[in-house]
Amino acid sequence: MSNPSLLILAGDGIGPEVMAEVRKVIAWFDAHGTSFDVTEDLVGGAAYDVHGTPLADETLAKALAADAVLLGAVGGPKYDVLDFSVKPERGLLKLRKELDLYANLRPAQCFDALADFSSLKREVVAGLDIMIVRELTSGVYFGEPRGIFTEGNERVGINTHRYTESEIARAARAAFDLARQRGSRVCSMEKANVMEAGILWREVAQKIRDEEYPDITLSHMYADNGAMQLVRAPKQFDVILTDNLFGDILSDAAAMLTGSLGMLPSASLGATGPNGYPRAMYEPVHGSAPDIAGQGKANPIACILSFSMALRYSFNLGDQADKLEAAVEKVLADGLRTADLLGPAGGTAISTSQMGDAIVAAL
């Protein structure tokens, strides 16, 4: 039987650096009985530089054939001048859309050893463990009509927010399934008081809950109140279900609450792919951080934990994922810290590659 296949798209900025550490982890697993066929390709600005497009057709074909994609990060100031259609972000959005990765899982977890890094009080965030499920392939990100048009003697910018019932339903199911493995509570967020699309969202989420997940407690909250509650008392939440645009903003706010942005992974899942695995892409929540790229300062943990999510969600290798997460915790408990994790409490300053080595050693 052949190994499952991984496509690595390291991308821009610190992407290649943090991905180099993931490769060490993959090599360790390979030497210990869990092997993947790994290929690598370009995405984002790195792809534009070579192909004049942030996602070449061959790369997309590889992604469609792979059992999981690991992505580093895309974007950088160098590409700010590019036309909208070839900006690095378009490569990422095209991958999401073409792989139909409709459920974006963003855990916001506060690591105990790092709770003091949060701008929030320790008691507000210590032990925080939220899972945000963001719909990722529809809404205002992809709705038509869109563009800048001329109307009378001025221009108008238009984007269309749209959700079908089935799009809402499948995102809701993803959230309910996850809640079953956690605290069985889902809070769905929209602006049903202002947007008809929010009314439909609320109605469909409730219907799926009532018909298919009677064991799950579902509540509804307006997204503006959601932002407030995340700041006020984030531990009230278990799973948050929301749309593409609200999810973008709320998950970033939630990530920042933890104080450990460099630690947070994400998974984007779709329907079953060619070999029985779900279509999936894993990536750190942090961006390409061009300001520190190439300096050995980046924290590879978010990207390594993204690989751990791949083990768990794509390949059903929960034990291996647990093992990898325990190794990360051990290294933190030992006081090893990349630059972003060095605070008043001290710790031993190490580089990106030393962090990767330490995690492999802990394995």
Ligand X SMILES: CC(C)[C@H](C(=O)O)[C@@H](O)C(=O)O
Q: Give me the amino acid identity at 100.
A: D
Q: Give me the amino acid identity at 126.
A: A
258 phi and psi angles, rounded to 5 deg? -70, -20
Q: Do 87 and 79 meet the contact criterion of CB atoms below 8 Å apart?
A: yes
- Tell me the closest approach of the beta carbon of residue 323 to its own copies, in angstroms: 31
Separation in Å, CA 308 to CA 10, 26, 323:
16, 10, 9
58 is in an annotated binding site: no
Residue from 52, 57, 151, 272 touching its own copies (CB under 8 A): that is: 151
Return the residue nearest ligand X (CB atom): 89
Please, which of residues 63-82 interact with ligand X by CB under 6 A? none
Residue from 60, 82, 89, 129 touching ligand X (CB under 6 A): that is: 89
| The one catalytic residue among 100, 116, 177, 252 | 252
77 is in an annotated binding site: yes
Residue 164 as a binder of its own copies (CB under 8 A): the answer is yes
Q: Which is nearer to its own copies, 4 or 88 (CB)?
A: 88
222 is catalytic: no
Question: 21 CB contacts (<8 Å, ≥6 apart)?
Answer: 300, 303, 304, 352, 353, 355, 356, 359
Q: Dihedral (C-alpha) 235, 227, 100, 315: value to the nearest 10 degrees?
A: -20
> Applying CB under 8 A, which part among 102-110, 159-167, 288-296, 346-354 lies near its own copies?
159-167
Residue from 20, 199, 342, 349 touching its own copies (CB under 8 A): that is: 199
177 is catalytic: no
Sign, Cα dihedral of 142, 50, 79, 9: positive
- Binds 63: which of its own copies, ligand X, none (CB < 5-8 Å by kind): none
DSSP structure class, residue 349 = E
Give the residue carrying structure tokens 């408990």.
Answer: 333
> Applying CB under 6 A, which part among 6-14, 88-96, 226-234, 274-282 lies near ligand X?
88-96
334 is catalytic: no
243 phi and psi angles, rounded to 5 deg? -85, -175
What six digits make up the tokens of 267?
Answer: 């998974």
- Binds 154: which of ligand X, its own copies, none (CB < 5-8 Å by kind): its own copies
Distance, CA of 145 to CA of 42 (rounded, Å):
30
Q: Dihedral (C-alpha) 191, 197, 201, 207: value to the nearest 10 degrees?
A: 130
Q: Which residues are near ligand X by CB under 6 A?
A: 89, 92-93, 193-194, 224, 248
Catalogue the active-site residues. 141, 191, 224, 248, 252
Q: Which residues are near its own copies by CB under 8 A?
A: 75, 84, 87, 89, 93, 119-121, 124, 140-141, 143, 146-148, 151, 154-166, 191, 193-201, 223-225, 227-228, 230-233, 245-246, 248-250, 252-253, 255-257, 261
